[in-house]
Amino acid sequence: MPADTDHLGRPVVVVTGMGVLTSLGQGQADNWKALSNGISGIRRISRFPTEGLRTTIAGTVDFVSVPEPSAPALSERLAELVIDEAVAEAAIGRPGDFPGPLFLALPPVELEWTQRFELAAASGANEAVTYDDLIRAAHNGSFDRYYSRFLFASVGEALADRFGTKGSPVATSTACASGGTAIQLGVEAIRRGETDAALVVGTDSSVNPESLVRFSLLGALSTRNNPPSSASRPFSKDREGFVMAEGAGALVLESLASARARGAKVLGVVEGCGEVADGFHRTRSSPDGKPIIACIRNALADAGLVPDDIDYINAHGTGTPENDKMEWIGVSAVFGERAGSVPLSSNKSMIGHTLTAAGAVEAIFTLLTIRSGLLPPTINYDVPDPALPADCVPNVARPASVRHAISNSFGFGGQNVCVVLGSGE
Amino acid sequence: MAHERDALITGIGIASCLGSGIDAHWAALNDFSPVLDTDSFPPFAVHPLAPLDLDQQIPKRGDQRQMEGWQRLGVFTAGLALESAGVKGNTDLLSRMGMIVAAGGGERDCAVDEAILSGYRKAPDPGAYLNEHLLGDLRPTLFLAQLSNLLAGNISIVHGVTGSSRTFMGEEASGADAVRIACARIAARQVDIMLVGGSYNAHRPDFLLLIEMGKLLRRAPFDPVWARQASGGGIILGSLGCFLVIESRAHAAARGAAPYARIAAVRTDRCRRRPGEATANARAQLETMAGQYDPATTAVISGATGAPAATLEEKSFLSDLGLPVRASVTAFGSAAEPQVPASLALAALSIRKGLLFPPLEAAEQTMTAPPKQVLVTSWGHWRGEALALVTEA
């Protein structure tokens, strides 16, 4: 039986419950089955008209609906579903009474076009519509529900109300590293002894016209619309961008001592977290890869491990030319001669890039990889890129014994987070 | 009792309608008259940002161009804070410095929004019209001004703070949680020195719209926050940027930094805001400070927003305490994310100066004795209650 404290005398943090939802389906079982079989969840966008758009595909979650759709409303609903699954698996607390804080990775919230058009119509302005008209309409009409819906606190507060998490819910955004940051916040809180348990959630349901266009204007998205399943091709030489996607992941984190005391099943250990910000550029990594290298090394040091201990890398692997190149530079520097033989695969080849949720969703898939002894593949790996001689588990899943793995998350704004996950055995 | 892991404020950067920097603020607070812009958004007022010499803190014009107003304000005040702490340009230290930024969303291109709203209903195919104009009219780099975490990103780029970078979202509460977690990380030896703060640009019709959907914006007369409650209350937004450098006593001592004050405690919580619930939270928070909190020499910097229900309830809670109170919102407006860092800045300044600045309105009582402690309250305009205790270093 492992000790309750780690190599630095801190409480060991374990995972006792997980919930996940992506375009591949709801729940660990359905997602893992699809991932193991190399199935893509990317599809043609049906939620809104795509006339004139360069990218018309995404990993949308089309099987969940809410009464008044918006990114925060859908993100909240996805979060509820994954929390239900995670809390049930952990069998922790009582319904509506989770014994710890909430750390929530959430996409930035703002009023959307649906609501702007509604306000514009309510304003009665006939020709030019101005913000003055919208503000007048807001004053004269009944839009209270949009006031609370489009505050940044809204999703965290609603989840805290529903699940009874303790204290002020912390909503975080570190762009595409947000899920990793939320895990890190939970791990740190438990290590400080502030709490025995924490609920960590990453959720993102922001496939709407403006979000899609914003990424498109930055040239970040794949435009390989036909067939949609072929668009996300991490590490392949003909990769050309990522595919926006929706999803959510929830993890119940607990101190090992607490899990043991209540007889909870341990699903895995969060052995370490590393983080380094990159001050080079708003969207590009430092060309020498130093921040990514330092981030992975910090995570390994935090876990008390060395590169040789790592059996699998769950790549950030977005499928943009830049990300995959920089990730390989980082991995090859840290792992040296071994780099090409440590399996490194990208879940995003199948589920797309779940953005804010990615760090949480992919940490869960990493734990499922460890538990199942099966490495999920990188699909659409058709044209090897000689510049990236990684073993990306091409196209077909493969059995392997994994004791320790890392999951990388990198985001705009120089955000780099690496989480080390272990079997606990 | 001094402890090496105490969290000390060693740097303050602030800009608002009252000016730029702590000296300008201290002078303005000691000779207070409200600074309001009633012309830009009639019938509403906002507290406008004082002119800033951006080149001082953001020397590259290219960097300035890559940002929108809220980011320039935040990066500017982050630079002031680093300068005030004496760590600006200290590459090695900044690469170890942690950062938590409390942020909302960035500016929209309001002209594009209005053009789309005007054309949409007349368009033969509204969906295609929206796509065409978003794709054609949005500036590609605007996205990078809108992402919440790109204030932190710009601080990393301009000032080189790279030890860690986390952005919290959630109006007033996010600023309080940012400070709380920064202090907890310092106490637990997870980090030695942190940069914490945020910025808010009130000169944005989209923010006025958001608040007015809750029918919370104040119309004339634009009274100070306590007096305002007699005629229905309401929020007057203000542009505000504030960053604090917070570090362990040991780290500050080792580099010979002079602290402004100590953050002895930060508590944050939430409730559904049924009557009395926020008060119960505040009382419980104060209870946890028993043993540290000494009412004899304490003042209060309140973050009451003006939103009527919460402000009236907080007013009653504060009058039970019977301490001299100053409402930071009267000074520079309601500003969501940076409100708590800025209230802490006023608290730390008052302690360092040994003087609470004079009442900002008739309802506030004078304090002649030097404040040894300051309680900082923040009850968000929608949710979230925070209480902090600032003491002499």
Q: Is B218 on the interface with A (CB under 8 A)?
A: no
Does A279 lie in the same domain as A260?
yes
Query: What is the signed CA dihedral for A107, A111, A112, A116, rounded to 10 degrees?
Result: 180
Q: Which residue, A422, A353, A4, A360, is CA-closest to A199?
A: A360
Single-letter residue type at A354: T
- Domain match, A142 and A46 both: no
What residues of chain A lie within 8 A of the CB of B210, using their CB?
Answer: 111, 147, 150-151
Beta carbons of B114 and A130 less than 8 Å apart? yes
**Position A41 in a domain:** yes
Residues A158 and A133 in one domain: no
Find out whether A173 and B149 touch, Cβ atoms under 8 Å.
yes
Kindly list the residues from chain A whose CB atom is less than 8 angstroms away from the CB atom of residue B386.
Answer: 168
Q: Contact at 8 Å (CB) between B301 and B337? A: no
B265 in A contact zone (CB under 8 Å)? no
C-alpha closest to that of B171 among B55, B39, B270, B81: B270
Calculated CA dihedral for residues A282, A284, A286, A289, nearest 10 degrees: 140
Averaged pLDDT, B237-242 = 98
- Nearest-Cα distance to chain A for B358, in Å, is 33
Q: Coil, strand or helix: which one is B326?
A: strand
- Of A140, A382, A189, A419, nearest in space to A300 by CA: A419
Contact B167 A173 (CB under 8 A): yes
Q: Which of B159, B166, B189 is the best substitution to test chain A (most A C-beta atoms within 10 A)?
A: B166
Q: Which two tokens stand for residue B280?
A: 């119960």
- What is the phi-psi region of residue A303: left when phi exceeds 0, alpha when psi lies from -120 to 50, beta otherwise? alpha
> Mapping DSSP to helix (H, G, I), strand (E, B) and coil, where does residue A49 land?
coil
Are A17 and A136 found together in one domain? no
Residue in B with minimal Cα distance to A274? B164
Sketch the domain layout of chain B as residue ranges.
7-106+147-391
- The residue annotated as part of the active site, out of A7, A139, A273, A316, is A316
Tokens 């790549």 locate to: A315
Question: How far, in Å, CA of A332 to CA of B174, rounded?
Answer: 38
The CA distance from A387 to B376, in Å, is 55
The verdict on whether A176 is a catalytic residue reads yes
A392 is catalytic: no
**Chosen CATH of B7-106+147-391 out of 3.40.47.10, 3.10.180.10, 3.40.50.720, 3.40.1390.10:** 3.40.47.10
pLDDT digits (tens, 9 = 90+) for A44-96: 999 999 999 999 999 999 999 999 999 999 999 999 999 999 999 999 999 99
- Evaluate whether B155 touches A159 at the Cβ level (below 8 Å): no
State residue B392's pLDDT score: 97
Domain assignment present for A118: yes
Q: Are residues A105 and A179 in the same domain?
A: yes
A123 part of a folded domain: yes
The pLDDT tens digits for A327-343 are 999 999 999 999 999 99
Look at the block and give the residue holding tokens 């119309």: B219
**Mean pLDDT, rounded, for B292-321:** 97
Phi/psi-derived region of residue B193, left when phi > 0, alpha when psi is between -120 and 50, beta in every other case: beta
CB contact under 8 A, A171 and B160: no
Percentage, residues of chain B above pLDDT 70 = 100
Does the CB of B63 have a partner CB in chain A at under 8 Å?
A: no
**Most distant CA pair in chain B, distance:** 73
| Residues A124, A103 share a domain | no
Contacts of A157 in chain B (CB under 8 A): 170, 270, 382-384
Structure tokens at B72: 């320039």
Residues A246 and A316 in one domain: yes
Which of B167, B206, B269 lies nearest to residue A167, judging by beta carbons?
B269
- pLDDT score at A1: 55
Q: Measured between beta carbons, which residues in chain B are less than 8 angstroms from residue A48?
A: 127
The alpha-carbon gap from A131 to the nearest alpha carbon of chain B, in Å, equals 6
State the DSSP string of B240-257: EEEEEEEEEHHHHHHTT-
**Do residue A100 and residue A165 come from a single domain?**
yes
- Which of A131, A148, A156 has its CB closest to that of B114? A131
Tell me the pLDDT of chain B averaged across its residues.
97
Q: Are residues A124 and A161 in the same domain?
A: no
Does any domain span residue A30? yes
Min Cα distance A21 → chain B (Å) is 23
- Mean pLDDT of all residues belonging to chain A: 97
Structural domain count, chain A: 2
CATH number at residue A57: 3.40.47.10
Residue after which a domain boundary falls, among A98, A131, A149: A149
Q: Do B120 and A161 touch (CB under 8 A)?
A: no
Q: Which domain holds residue A141?
A: 113-149
Distance of CA B298 to the CA centre of its chain: 22
**H or E stretch including A256?**
helix A256-261
Instruction: Give yes or no for a contact between B145 and B162, defined as CB atoms under 8 angstroms apart.
Output: no
Asked whether the beta carbons of A220 and A167 are under 8 A apart, the reply is no
Token duo for residue B59:
């020397």
Tell which B residues from 318 to 347 touch A, by Cβ distance under 8 Å.
none
Distance from CA of A280 to the nearest CA of B (A): 6
Of the residues B109, B162, B213, the best mutation for testing chain A's interface (the one with the most A CB atoms within 10 Å of its CB) is: B213
Task: Give the count of beta carbons closer than 10 Å to the beta carbon of residue B276.
Answer: 13
Residue B176 contacts A where some CB pair is shorter than 8 Å: yes
Q: For B44-85, what is each residue's pLDDT tens digit? A: 999 999 999 999 999 999 999 999 999 999 999 999 999 999
The mean pLDDT value for B271-290 works out to: 98
User: Residues 189..208 of B with a Cβ closer than 8 Å to A: which?
Assistant: 190, 205-206, 208
Asked whether residue A143 falls in the same domain as residue A279, the answer is: no
Instruction: Find out whether A197 and A254 touch, Cβ atoms under 8 Å.
Output: yes
Question: Within 10 A of A240 (CB to CB), how many other CB atoms are there?
Answer: 16
Beta partners for residue B246, in sequence order: B9, B194
Which residues of chain B neighbour A52 with C-beta distances below 8 Å?
128, 131-132, 135
Does the pTM of the predicted model rise above 0.95? yes
- The answer to whether the beta carbons of residues B350 and B356 sit under 8 Å apart is yes
Return averaged pLDDT per consecutive 10 residues of chain A, 425 residues in all: 90 98 98 98 97 97 97 98 98 98 97 97 93 97 97 98 98 98 98 98 97 97 98 98 98 98 98 96 93 98 98 98 97 97 98 98 98 98 97 98 98 96 92
H or E element that contains A15? strand A13-22
Task: Say which DSSP state A18 is in.
Answer: E
Instruction: Confirm whether A67 is domain-assigned.
Output: yes
Do A260 and A307 belong to one domain? yes
**Within a domain: residue A124?**
yes
Q: Which of A108, A113, A139 sits opposite B212 (nearest CB)?
A: A139
Which of A51, A108, A276 faces B148 most closely, judged by CB atoms? A108
- Asked if the Cβ–Cβ distance from B135 to A53 is below 8 Å, we say yes
Distance of CA A311 to the CA centre of its chain: 21
Sign of CA dihedral A389, A395, A396, A399: positive
The verdict on residue A4 lying in a domain is no
Domain for residue A5, yes or no? no
Amino acid at B26: W
In this predicted model, what pLDDT tens digit does every residue of A139-163 receive, in sequence order? 999 999 999 999 999 999 999 999 9
Q: One of A353, A392, A404, A418 is an active-site residue; which one?
A: A353
Q: Is A66 helix (H, G, I), strand (E, B) or coil?
A: coil
CB A150 within 8 A of CB A134: no
DSSP string, A294-328: HHHHHHHHHHT--GGG--EEE------HHHHHHHH
**Contact present, B234 and B306 (Cβ < 8 Å):** yes
Are residues A136 and A207 located together in one domain of the fold?
Answer: no
A395 in the Ramachandran plot: left (φ > 0), alpha (ψ -120 to 50) or beta? left
- State both tokens at B138: 């949005």
Q: Could you give the CA distance from residue A104 to residue A85 in angstroms, rounded to a whole number?
A: 16
Alpha helices (H) along A164-208? 178-191
